[in-house]
């Protein structure tokens, strides 16, 4: 059984499929959008509470 280094030299290394998931930038953008939506919702809720 050949070692990994020998397989790399011979070009027989298998390709690993990419792992499905979110990138860090995508997660940060989701958190930012949720924060903006929460800020707007809290402001509207406070306005409703003072009007009642």
Closest by CA to 33, choosing from 43, 22, 41, 23, is: 41
Q: Can you give the pLDDT at residue 6?
A: 57
Distance of alpha carbon 29 from alpha carbon 37, whole angstroms: 12
**Binning pLDDT at 50, 70 and 90, where does residue 50 land?**
confident
Closest by CA to 44, choosing from 28, 36, 11, 6, is: 36
Between 35 and 15, whose confidence is greater? 35
The predicted model scores a pTM of: 0.55
Got the DSSP string for 1-52? ---HHHHHHHT-PPPPPPPPS--HHHHHHHHHHHHHHHHHHHHHHHHHHHH-
């Amino acid at each position: 059984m050949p070692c990994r280094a020998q397989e790399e030299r011979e070009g027989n290394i298998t390709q690993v499929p990419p792992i499905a998931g979110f990138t860090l930038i995508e997660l940060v953008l989701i958190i930012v959008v949720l924060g903006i939506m929460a800020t707007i919702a809290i402001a509207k809720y406070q306005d409703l509470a003072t009007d009642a």
